[in-house]
């Protein structure tokens, strides 16, 4: 059964959260993905998984592992690393990368989706709201996740490169992280979202763009910012059913 057609059974707290957003009657909503729609970082997880699975060449793998450690140590900036986690697939067919990303998400992340967030997406769409996924994770992982969250491929703004003759290039199209999130929204949607949802400081600029920002499952730094600015804060009940 398609999971997006199943109406979640929510706790009172979760149902109240969904209803509180619906009462705002938003016409455009933007959702971060990792940590917001689901628990954990699917982008980082896929990166580790595909290196172990041999999706990438040994040459790329030898470069990628220490490069990511440099990023974690603060020696490589967020925009650069997020872009390189896409461009390192250059030369592969998009079909094989998408297949790998779908396998990874289906096997490792479906049960991490927060039921009330998936239900919120469904109810917003049902009300006529234009719902978008905005993420710095590579577009292939986000496409895989959105099949379970119900957001159409054409409503995804994720880290992406140009595709030439079915193969991945190293020519970046966008890297929606930090200031790149509102940039992507304004370039593609060309309107400010009525409501936006994020969990980390890399979502802060997108949240500032929205009339009704909401920090979902926020990291401590975003939680502090949200409290200072009077933004709505919501901590999900937990993971989806096994």
- Residue 113 region by backbone torsions, left for phi larger than 0, else alpha for psi between -120 and 50, else beta: beta
The pLDDT value recorded for residue 9 is 85
- Give CA angle at 221 (218, 230), nearest 5°: 70
The domain spanning residue 228 has which CATH number? 3.40.50.1000
Please indicate, yes or no, if residue 24 is contained in any of the structural domains: yes
Averaged pLDDT for residues 90-100: 98
Please indicate, yes or no, if residue 239 is contained in any of the structural domains: no
Please indicate, yes or no, if residue 241 is contained in any of the structural domains: no
* pLDDT at residue 7 tops 80: no
Please indicate, yes or no, if residue 192 is contained in any of the structural domains: yes
The pLDDT value recorded for residue 62 is 95
Q: How many CB atoms lie within 10 A of CB 185?
A: 24
Bridge partners, residue 212, by sequence? 195
Can you list the alpha helix ranges (DSSP code H) found in the chain?
12-22, 42-53, 58-72, 78-87, 94-108, 115-126, 139-149, 180-188, 204-209, 220-229
241 band by pLDDT with thresholds 50, 70 and 90 = very low
* pLDDT at residue 192 tops 70: yes
N residues, the chain: 242
8 band by pLDDT with thresholds 50, 70 and 90 = low
18 band by pLDDT with thresholds 50, 70 and 90 = very high
Please indicate, yes or no, if residue 240 is contained in any of the structural domains: no
Over residues 150-185, the pLDDT tens digits come to 999 999 999 999 999 999 999 999 999 999 999 999
pTM: 0.93
Range of the domain at 98: 3-234
Q: How many domains does the chain have?
A: 1
Bridge partners, residue 196, by sequence? 30, 213
- Structure-token match 């996740």, residue found: 145
Please indicate, yes or no, if residue 99 is contained in any of the structural domains: yes
Please indicate, yes or no, if residue 15 is contained in any of the structural domains: yes
Report d(CA 3, CA 1) in Å as an integer: 6
The pLDDT value recorded for residue 227 is 98
238 band by pLDDT with thresholds 50, 70 and 90 = low
């Amino acid at each position: 059964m398609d999971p997006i057609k199943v109406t979640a059974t929510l706790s009172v707290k979760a149902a109240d959260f969904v209803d509180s957003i619906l009462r705002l009657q938003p016409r455009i909503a933007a959702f971060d993905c990792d940590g917001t729609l689901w628990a954990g970082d699917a982008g980082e997880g896929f990166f580790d998984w595909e290196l172990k699975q041999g999706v990438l060449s040994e040459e790329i793998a030898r470069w990628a592992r220490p490069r990511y450690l440099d990023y974690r140590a603060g020696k490589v900036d967020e925009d650069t690393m997020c872009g390189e986690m896409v461009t390192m697939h250059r030369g592969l067919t998009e079909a094989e990368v998408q297949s790998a990303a779908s396998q990874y998400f289906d096997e490792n992340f479906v049960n991490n989706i927060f039921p009330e967030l998936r239900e919120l997406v469904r109810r917003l769409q049902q009300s006529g709201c234009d719902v978008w996924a905005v993420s710095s994770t590579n577009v292939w992982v986000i496409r895989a996740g959105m099949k379970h969250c119900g957001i159409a491929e054409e409503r995804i703004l994720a880290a992406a490169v140009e595709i030439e003759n079915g193969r991945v290039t190293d020519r970046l199209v966008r890297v929606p992280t930090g200031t790149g999130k509102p940039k992507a929204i304004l370039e593609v949607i060309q309107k400010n979202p009525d409501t936006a949802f994020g969990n980390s400081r890399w979502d802060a600029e997108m949240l500032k763009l929205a009339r009704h920002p909401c920090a979902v499952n926020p990291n401590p730094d975003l939680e502090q910012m949200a409290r200072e600015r009077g933004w709505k804060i919501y901590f999900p009940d937990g993971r989806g059913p096994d």
